[in-house]
Amino acid sequence: MKVAVVGATGLVGGEILKVLAERDFPVTELLLVASEKSVGKQMEFKGKQIKVIGMQDAIAAAPQIAIFSAGGGTSTEWAPKFAEAGTVVVDNSSAWRMDPSKKLVVPEINAKELTKEDKIIANPNCSTIQMVVALNKLHEQLKMKRIVVSTYQSVTGTGVKAVDQLMNERAGKEGEKAYPYQIDLNVLPHIDVFQDNGYTKEEMKMILETKKIMGDDSIRVTATAVRIPVMGGHSESVNVEFEKDFTLDQVYNILNETEGVVVVDDVKNLKYPMPQDAHGKDEVLVGRVRLDETQPRSLNMWIVADNLRKGAATNAVQIAEYLVKHQLV
């Protein structure tokens, strides 16, 4: 299995390499692909040094799978060229997510929709992934009517520049800025660009992607996305209203049986999900589960996951694993 990682030198690219190695993905040849300024750079994978190559060389090498994490513009330009050459592209950017001709895949939920005809497969937004993983089985059994979500998102979601900004501010040093304001000791209710309706693009991604992944346009979703000065993972406060009645015991049973979810909910002993506990893990942590006492059939919960892993790298590698297992490549 010849695999290309496009955007290999970035934060998510590095995480993809780590996940490929950890999960022992059947790579016989690994192509590390990046922009021209990184071509020739040496990177390590499983103890071997591999030289970074450019896009054209990667296409010419004809990998079976290319995992992209290089931004929407790069994906828009290059993913179709890889696909035309016979490579199946798993893309981490927002470029293809809402394209009606492309599948938007979280393996635990809808990988079964994939076929050999799918040459560009979209990986959802990190915040959307962790939320739908936690809610999917509840939706199957209780049918969700409405979701209200507020996110508390790590600076790692923006990239290396944002991490540097936070650490520079913490150290009292000047440096390049990823955000329009200080992020250390601050909170920014602003992720991605503002849209005409007053929501940010990040908030609209969560709203639209949730419906597409779940295959249910009737679910009403509203979101507020916030950047906070942490590393390790994204957190979400989620309020969800269901059509069917339920008990808390029933909810816990469903969550405990949900693939990819770990329940961390013991408030008597102050046990609840935190980004530092999610860091480096592939599971979605769920806690603070409680009834919404202001309206019937409604629930509050707190959802945390490592945004670079399940929110990006691990989900993409799981898609690739599904393709291999089901002989779709």
Distance between start and end Cα atoms, the chain = 9
Give the Cβ contact number of residue 31 at 10 Å: 22
Contact assessment for residue 151 and residue 199, using Cβ atoms and an 8 Å cutoff:
no
Cα separation, 259 vs 253, whole angstroms: 12
**Any binding-site annotation on 97?**
yes
Residue 88 burial (CB count, 10 A): 22
Q: How far apart are alpha carbons 22 and 239 in whole angstroms?
A: 34
Parallel, antiparallel or unpaired: strands 48-51 and 65-68: unpaired
Q: Which residues are catalytic?
A: 126, 234
10 labelled binding-site residue: yes
Is 253 labelled a binding residue? no
**Is residue 37 a known part of a binding site?**
yes
153 is in an annotated binding site: yes
DSSP code, position 54 = -
**274: number of CA atoms within 13 Å, CB side?**
6
Consult the annotation and say whether 64 binds a ligand.
no
Q: How far apart are CA 308 and CA 282, in angstroms?
A: 9
Burial label, 274 (beta-carbon count in 10 A; 0-12, 13-18, 19+) = middle
How far apart, in whole angstroms, are the C-alpha atoms of residue 129 and residue 45? 27
Q: Is 38 annotated as a binding residue?
A: yes
DSSP string, 57-109: HHHHT--SEEEE-S-HHHHHHHHHHHHHTTPEEEE-SSSSTT-TTS-B--HHH
Query: Is 289 labeled as ligand-binding?
Result: no
Return binding residues: 9-12, 37-38, 97, 153, 227, 307
Give the residue ranges of the annotated binding site for phosphate: 97
Annotated binding site for substrate: 153, 227
Binding-site residue positions for NADP(+): 9-12, 37-38, 307
